[in-house]
């Protein structure tokens, strides 16, 4: 049933929203070319309304040469033709709004595409020109200028610099030969430009007023078209040390030359003023990967971003003590700035959590995806079900990634020649990258394309044949399916007063068990130990991640109980008293 997410009663909606990430290319293919598109999304909006999400976050839908699956934006005011048109996007926004679903879109401000007009102008202009000043162009080191300007490395591997070649094209290091027609003045060695990601993603110079003005205008362009917010890509990287000094790996203290520099906050204060100038609580959500919770929550001060993803939670091992610590640190640090906590298990950059939780080492690190490491799928799925009940029972906002609700796993055997993620090439074929979590969704039927596109169409990445049991159709109405668990839990999360409150109190529990009380009448238990544990006295089982037989909670299972009487062993730890959440 659609809900009234956009009603007047939904002030502060983003503080407890359930936000579903759509990775357009892999969601649903309306025209049968094998690539997901806006027509596909529009046709599936009722599915998302029924799932019960408050908002959709779209990974980049802009025109892009796809050097990094759309995170290389060639035009910030249009739609990738493979996905549809601006007109369709506007229709989609209106249709979603009618179903009570808000629309959040990705914005990629750290870098553009090398196919963007500004960059073409920069390549065609000379060293020191106004056109190049919008990016970070620098001469190389050494007599011929053939050594990159500094030692920074690209997230995808190799140097973070590419050299301008004669043909007005950028080339990766080592230096491409220069020939006639080079834009540099005669005798001047060709310059290099900075790209913290792939060479197709030149970094903008955020000290340049044109860059600031351009993005302010892009925000307005989409706010004017009704979008409810932006997910800000690589949000902590925009400000660079103007000297572009070498990175000193041994450096203790002091500012990093490009991560989380204090200068970045002024940008978001300006963006917040723009968001606040629109009616209806438009939001800014930061993709901020930082090891320090205090540094992270600086982005969430009242005049900056509304919210940020909780990557500590995503990366945390399936371990009660460690999860409890992450939950505590998250709630404390966010309460201090009055921002809502967020809970994330997966997204388009990480190994799907069914696979992570089935491994011997259940923690995750972006720098080591461990694709192909043995994983017990049944165990991973059981834990993923319990993790869903953990996530949906915590105070704050929740982010779901498409396919989480179907229990999809990481596809680890994509043939080498089909891999598209730049990690694969840039790592010299040592890192298989992120394609395994981007495989097109299975919707219906018994064989590929599983309703992703029309019968006979070939999805851009192959789907495992075993996904016949994980289609939305197969799982709909099927007792014990991941989809029905998600639907039921999201319904309760919205309907139960205790779960919409900010009140959470830890309860005493056996080792390896997380137990807390939410509001006046719900007790949550998650058993991460190897042994069954007894349930406390309760009026009713509201939901369980597995059947609870004989009043015990099996290992790797979770439950929400109606417990009207105060449970004994209450540690009396009342979060509501500490912060202004909810």
Q: Which residues bind ligand NOJ (CB under 6 A)?
A: 68, 71, 108, 197, 233-234, 287, 348-349
Q: Please give the Cα distance from 479 to 346 (Å, whole number).
A: 24
Nearest approach, Cβ of residue 288 and ligand NOJ (Å)? 11
Nearest approach, Cβ of residue 438 and Ca ion (Å)? 15
Sign of the dihedral defined by the CA atoms of residues 288, 293, 298, 303, in that order:
positive
Peptide bond into 174 cis (omega under 30): yes
C-beta of 218 vs 557, nearer to ligand NOJ: 218
C-beta of 103 vs 483, nearer to ligand NOJ: 103
- Please choose which of ligand NOJ, Ca ion, none residue 29 contacts, taking the beta carbon within 5 to 8 angstroms, the exact cut-off set by kind: Ca ion
C-beta of 68 vs 281, nearer to ligand NOJ: 68
- By CB under 5 A, what part of segment 123-142 binds Ca ion? none
Nearest-10 crossing angle of helices 86-98, 38-51: 10
261's CB contacts (< 8 A; 6+ apart) are 239, 240, 241, 255
* Burial zone of 141 (CB within 10 Å; 0-12 exposed, 13-18 middle, 19+ buried): middle
- Please choose which of Ca ion, ligand NOJ, none residue 349 contacts, taking the beta carbon within 5 to 8 angstroms, the exact cut-off set by kind: ligand NOJ
Strand partners, 22: 58
Nearest approach, Cβ of residue 153 and ligand NOJ (Å)? 14
Cα dihedral 192/194/196/199 (nearest 10): -50
C-beta of 33 vs 95, nearer to Ca ion: 33
Nearest approach, Cβ of residue 530 and Ca ion (Å)? 46
CB-side exposure of 235: number of CA atoms within 13 Å?
30
325's CB contacts (< 8 A; 6+ apart) are none
392's CB contacts (< 8 A; 6+ apart) are 18, 398, 489, 490, 492, 493, 499
C-beta of 175 vs 349, nearer to ligand NOJ: 349
- By CB under 5 A, what part of segment 15-44 binds Ca ion? 29, 31, 33, 35, 37
- Please choose which of ligand NOJ, Ca ion, none residue 31 contacts, taking the beta carbon within 5 to 8 angstroms, the exact cut-off set by kind: Ca ion
Q: Which residue is nearest to ligand NOJ, using beta carbons?
A: 71
- Please choose which of Ca ion, ligand NOJ, none residue 514 contacts, taking the beta carbon within 5 to 8 angstroms, the exact cut-off set by kind: none
- Please choose which of Ca ion, ligand NOJ, none residue 151 contacts, taking the beta carbon within 5 to 8 angstroms, the exact cut-off set by kind: none
C-beta of 215 vs 443, nearer to ligand NOJ: 215
- Please choose which of ligand NOJ, Ca ion, none residue 203 contacts, taking the beta carbon within 5 to 8 angstroms, the exact cut-off set by kind: none
- Please choose which of ligand NOJ, Ca ion, none residue 68 contacts, taking the beta carbon within 5 to 8 angstroms, the exact cut-off set by kind: ligand NOJ
- Please choose which of ligand NOJ, Ca ion, none residue 33 contacts, taking the beta carbon within 5 to 8 angstroms, the exact cut-off set by kind: Ca ion
Contact call for residue 80 and Ca ion (CB under 5 A): no
> CB of 11 within 8 A of CB of 281?
yes
Strand partners, 422: none
Q: Please give the Cα distance from 320 to 144 (Å, whole number).
A: 57
The b/e string for 379-413 (b: 16+ C-beta within 10 A; e otherwise) is: bbbbbbbbbbbbbbbbbbbbbbbbbbbbbbbbbbe
Q: What are the residues binding Ca ion (CB under 5 A)?
A: 29, 31, 33, 35, 37
């Amino acid at each position: 049933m659609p809900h009234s997410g956009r009603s007047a009663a939904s002030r502060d909606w983003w503080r407890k929203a359930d936000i579903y990430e759509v990775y357009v290319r892999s969601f649903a293919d309306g025209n049968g070319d094998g690539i997901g598109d806006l027509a596909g999304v529009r046709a599936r909006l009722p599915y998302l309304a029924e799932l019960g999400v408050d908002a959709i976050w779209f990974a980049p839908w802009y025109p892009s040469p796809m050097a990094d699956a759309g995170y290389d934006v060639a035009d910030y005011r249009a739609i990738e033709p493979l996905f549809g048109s601006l007109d369709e996007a506007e229709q989609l926004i209106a249709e979603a709004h009618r179903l009570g679903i808000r629309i959040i879109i990705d914005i990629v401000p750290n870098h553009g595409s090398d196919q963007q007009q500004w960059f073409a102008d920069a390549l065609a202009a000379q060293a020191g020109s106004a056109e190049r000043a919008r990016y970070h162009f620098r001469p190389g080191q050494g007599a011929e200028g053939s050594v990159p300007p500094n030692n920074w490395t690209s997230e995808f591997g190799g140097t973070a610099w590419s050299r301008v070649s004669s043909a007005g094209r950028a080339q990766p290091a080592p230096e491409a030969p220069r020939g006639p027609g080079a834009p540099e003045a005669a005798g001047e060695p060709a310059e290099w430009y900075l790209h913290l990601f792939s060479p197709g993603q030149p970094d903008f110079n955020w000290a340049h007023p044109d860059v600031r003005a351009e993005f302010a205008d892009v925000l307005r362009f989409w706010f004017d078209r009704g979008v409810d917010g932006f997910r800000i890509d690589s949000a902590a990287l925009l400000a660079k040390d103007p000297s572009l000094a070498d990175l000193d790996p041994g450096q203790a203290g002091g500012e990093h030359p490009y991560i989380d520099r204090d200068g970045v906050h002024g940008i978001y204060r300006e963006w917040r003023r723009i968001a606040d100038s629109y009616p209806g609580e438009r939001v800014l959500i930061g993709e901020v990967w930082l090891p320090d919770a205090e540094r992270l929550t600086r982005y969430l001060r009242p005049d900056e971003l509304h919210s940020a993803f909780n990557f500590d939670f995503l990366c945390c091992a399936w371990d009660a003590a460690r999860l409890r610590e992450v939950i505590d640190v998250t709630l404390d640090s966010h309460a201090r700035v009055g921002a809502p906590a967020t809970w994330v298990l997966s997204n388009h950059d990480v190994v799907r959590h069914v696979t992570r939780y089935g491994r011997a080492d259940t923690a995750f690190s972006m720098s080591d995806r461990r694709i192909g490491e043995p994983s017990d799928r049944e165990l991973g799925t059981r834990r993923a079900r319990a993790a869903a009940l953990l996530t949906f029972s915590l105070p704050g906002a929740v982010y779901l990634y498409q396919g989480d609700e179907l229990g999809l796993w990481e596809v680890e055997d994509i043939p080498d020649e089909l891999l598209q993620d730049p990690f694969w090439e840039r790592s010299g074929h040592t890192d298989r990258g992120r394609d395994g979590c981007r495989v097109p969704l299975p919707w219906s039927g018994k064989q590929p394309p599983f309703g992703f596109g029309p019968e006979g169409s070939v999805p851009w990445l192959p789907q495992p044949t075993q996904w016949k049991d994980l289609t939305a159709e197969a799982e709909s109405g099927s007792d014990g399916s991941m989809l029905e668990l998600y639907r039921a839990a999201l319904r309760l999360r919205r309907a139960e007063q205790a779960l919409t409150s900010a009140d959470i109190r830890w309860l005493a529990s056996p080792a390896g068990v997380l137990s807390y009380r939410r509001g006046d009448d719900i007790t949550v238990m998650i058993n991460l130990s190897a042994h069954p544990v007894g349930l406390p006295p309760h009026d009713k089982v509201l939901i369980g991640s597995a059947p609870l037989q004989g009043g015990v909670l099996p290992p790797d299972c979770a439950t929400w109980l109606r417990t009207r009487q105060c449970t004994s062993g209450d540690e009396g730890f009342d979060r509501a008293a500490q912060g202004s959440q909810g």
